[in-house]
Amino acid sequence: MARLNRREFVLTGTAAGLAAAAPTTVFGQAPAVTTRSSTKPVVVSSANGHQYKNGGPVTAVEKAFSTMVRGGDVLDALIAGVNIVELDPEDTSVGYGGLPNADGVVQLDASCMHGPRKRAGAVAALEGVRTPSLVAQKVMDYTDHHLIVGADAQRFARNMGFTIESDLNTERSRKAWLEWKRRTDSLHYLDPDKREAAMRQVDREMMAEGYIDPNHYYGTINCNGVNAKGEICGVTTTSGLAWKIPGRVGDSPILGAGLYVDGAVGAAGSTGRGEANLYGLCSFLIVEGMRRGLHPKDAGLEALKRIQANTTEKRLLTPKGTPNFNVNFYILNAKGDYAGVAIYSADRKQQFAVCDEKGPRLELSEPLLEGSTD
């Protein structure tokens, strides 16, 4: 697929207008955009949506946006985008090569929601399938259920024709797990408080030494989109928390937590500490905030304030009394307004991915708090 330029992103609201655009290899100046509605088509995602290409010419947000504006179903477009990240072994937060659980097994979670169809599907603790987002879509399309888990999720995937692999580790993810095991085996019988601090120190050391990408410790890609017709969809997919207890399920496959879409209002999804997001079902909270008229940024910051207020355990607090973890949200409304927000912006360097008629790019997330998790 040739790299798309800005001219190819022009939206006329008709298939004929889209087909008239001629491909080139660089982004030029964007011409005026004409649509059949007041919606500004846009795709937003976590930063890895514009960082990985799996050896191809485009990133996830580029793929999703181009497919969407050429007339493709919005959810199909978003999933085609995140498949790039799921299949890329360089991203250790999702799919193939995602960091494994405490037993060295890669277990994957995913969810998707289709605003126009008012349908959803999800899988959790799925082993052996590189693209859990596609399995979640099959749950949505072929069952009357929203969530299938564990060995039964794998059995469902096999029945849907997916190849089941015995191991989704790469050399890199296995090496990181072996190093983690080497450093933590002696910690297994400490008292709970001391073990928590010791495990956190090990993780920090491994991040500093390059075994773990700090942005991928919690993992995940969320990707949401709205087209010129105002049709909204979303998808979230992850390998979950690094070294998690086997069977642990975070927020990503839970509707209202790791993802929520209301076709009349907007979409929100998350990355970061899943347990904190699960407690408040914050993606749902954000969409409800937009229903009340809040801008995506303000709705997102409101949810982050809720997370901060609910974080009271000492082990989860910095010496300043603020959360010692990060949570990020990626948000858009039915008009095409969007935002990325985070508890911390790491000195205003936290980014999220966007693609619209101006082309794909990374933008800075709006932080709730200054500084970092230290």
Locate the DSSP E strands across 127-210: 147-149
C-alpha distance across the termini of the chain, in Å? 43
**223: nearest Cα among 117, 68, 344, 370:** 68
Residues 6+ apart with CB under 8 A from 295: 333, 337, 339
Here the tokens at position 264 are 């009349």
Distances (CA, A) of 218 to 15, 91, 130: 40, 12, 18
**251: nearest Cα among 224, 269, 233, 277:** 277
CB 300 within 8 A of CB 268: yes
Strands 338-344 and 366-369 come out as parallel
Spatial distance between the Cα atoms of 212 and 193, rounded to a whole number of angstroms? 23
Distances (CA, A) of 188 to 147, 182, 184, 246: 33, 12, 7, 16
CB 331 within 8 A of CB 305: no
Please indicate whether residue 24 is annotated as part of the active site: no
User: Which entry of 92, 131, 220, 236 is annotated as an active-site residue?
Assistant: 220
Residue 258, Cβ neighbours under 10 Å: how many?
31
CB 139 within 8 A of CB 123: yes
How many degrees, rounded to 5, is the angle at CA 100 between CA 79 and CA 213? 80
CB 358 within 8 A of CB 43: no
Which sequence positions are flagged as catalytic? 220
